[in-house]
């Protein structure tokens, strides 16, 4: 994979994660800087393993989710289990794969593709 394809994959992943943060109205400057940190980290990772560029969107989403947990709390909260009184975050599945989705870990319901939080799942 050339440098241009790698940068396109990283920028596309960045845009998807930012779209999810904006859908949840949590894309303030501090949080956007967490996305930038994740992109920098994954740029090195993709340079080492160019075939991994197809997985970078899900990985950056997980990196941001982990960073947010450390600083702010769970994100994104599961919209499926709102009645349980036990708020929990969605997981990215597959953990290392193409076409990552936000999935409820309790019900296995796919809520949205990464980058599409707040929009209905397409058939």
pTM of the shown model:
0.91
Look at residue 73 and tell me whether its pLDDT is greater than 80. Answer: yes
Q: How far apart are CA 69 and CA 121, in angstroms?
A: 25
DSSP 119: S
Encode pLDDT of 2-54 as tens digits. Answer: 788 889 999 999 999 999 999 999 889 999 999 999 999 999 999 999 999 99
- Mean pLDDT of the region 74-80: 93
The more confident residue out of 83 and 47 is: 47
Which DSSP helix (H) or strand (E) runs through 93?
Answer: strand 91-93
> What per-residue confidence (pLDDT) applies to 86?
80
């Amino acid at each position: 994979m050339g440098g241009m394809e790698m940068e396109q994959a990283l920028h596309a992943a960045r845009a998807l994660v930012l779209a999810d943060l904006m859908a949840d109205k949590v894309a303030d400057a501090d949080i956007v800087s967490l996305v930038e940190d994740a992109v920098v980290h994954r740029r090195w990772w993709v340079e080492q393993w160019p075939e991994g560029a197809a997985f970078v969107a899900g990985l950056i989403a997980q990196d941001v989710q982990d960073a947010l947990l450390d600083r702010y709390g769970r994100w994104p909260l599961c919209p499926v289990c709102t009645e349980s009184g036990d708020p929990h975050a969605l997981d990215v599945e597959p953990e290392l794969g193409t076409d990552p989705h936000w999935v409820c870990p309790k019900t296995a319901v796919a809520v949205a593709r990464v980058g599409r939080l707040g929009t209905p799942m397409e058939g």
